[in-house]
Amino acid sequence: MAAFSKKPMLLCVTFTAILSLCLVTSLAEFQWLVQPTKADGSLSFLVVGDWGRRGGYNQSQVAHQMGIIGDKLDIDFVISTGDNFYEDGLTGVDDPAFDESFSNIYTAPSLQKQWYTVLGNHDYRGDVLAQLSPILRKLDSRWLCLRSFIVDAEIVEFFFVDTTPFSDKYFTNPKDDVYDWRGVLPRDQYLSNLLKELDLALKESTAKWKIVVGHHTIRSAGTHGNTVELVAQLLPILRANNVDFYINGHDHCLEHISSPDSALQFLTSGGGSKAWKGDIDWWNPKEMKFYYDGQGFMS
């Protein structure tokens, strides 16, 4: 089910599901993390993306509302769908943007939980290793950013995927942008290994619910639209393994698109700060369940 509640200029999108216990084995390449559930076996979390603007473009207002909703729902953690620091990632582990866009913004008591974070394309324009560094975790223990990883939350499994290296244009036509591809090259081998690891992890999963998180869209009516490389390479794996949700950012909106031929649902949460009002392409209304072209987050 989906229920929606508005605040001025902000939106919180809620998706509720009944979940059950699961056990899986770990893989060598995907780092494996464990997230405890509440005593009653339930989980609650927020999802926000495309946010890091030192409080600007209503980032601080979104953070304030996240704190309110986080308290009401007694959240267990937060997921970031990437583009964590604009415009060009971090310059290093000592970049003040880490405090100015993260630690000093998400200050509500309810948000002092683990943040599971993926990299976006803007993050790759800076020192990408800085965001992955354990030094940042020492500065703020909430911060956890990895390229691709799995979170076992007992009643659900989250598969976080590094989607930026899939996009051809960042390699063939970067324009004036400089990307930090350390740890990614050779690209073909990196992507091949990632897809094989993900496919195997999903196949071995016995979870009732399987959720894949990445930065880039697969299906979207927003500015960026569908990411053709993910449609060709990632989507078949999600379908073959009965993934329930693909959650992404990249398009600065909130969106829910259903699949015409499977149970897979596409959820965009990229409204953490700057939004693109009025920027929407036509989509089959039978599939487009919800679209909001403003700031907000998902719960």
Contact 24, 204 (CB under 8 A): yes
- What distance, in Å, lies between the first and last C-alpha atoms of the chain? 12
Per-residue model confidence (pLDDT) at position 279: 85
What count of other Cβ atoms lies within 10 Å of the Cβ of residue 278?
Answer: 6
Task: Say whether pLDDT at 136 is over 60.
Answer: yes
**Tokens 């031929």 -> residue:** 261
**What is the average pLDDT across 204-227?**
96
Task: Say whether pLDDT at 238 is over 90.
Answer: yes
Decide: pTM greater than 0.75: yes
Q: Is 84 marked as binding a ligand?
A: no
Q: Is 179 marked as binding a ligand?
A: no
Q: Which residues are catalytic?
A: 224
**What is the average pLDDT across 182-199?**
97
More confident residue, 38 or 15: 38
Task: Say whether pLDDT at 12 is over 70.
Answer: no
Q: Is 256 marked as binding a ligand?
A: no
Strand order from edge to edge, sheet including 254-258 = 31-34, 149-152, 157-160, 210-213, 245-248, 265-269, 254-258, 288-292
Task: Say whether pLDDT at 18 is over 80.
Answer: no
Q: Is 291 marked as binding a ligand?
A: no
DSSP secondary-structure letter at 256? Answer: E
Per-residue model confidence (pLDDT) at position 29: 72
Instruction: Summarize pLDDT for 240-269 with one digit per residue, the tens.
Output: 999 999 999 999 999 999 999 899 999 999
Instruction: Summarize pLDDT for 88-123 with one digit per residue, the tens.
Output: 999 999 999 999 999 999 999 999 999 999 999 999
Peptide bond before 186: cis, by omega within 30 degrees of 0?
yes
Task: Say whether pLDDT at 19 is over 50.
Answer: no
Q: 14 pLDDT band (50/70/90 cuts)?
A: low
Q: Is 241 marked as binding a ligand?
A: no
86: burial class by Cβ within 10 Å (0-12, 13-18, 19+)? buried
Task: Say whether pLDDT at 22 is over 50.
Answer: no
Contact 275, 254 (CB under 8 A): no
Average pLDDT of the chain to the nearest whole number:
91
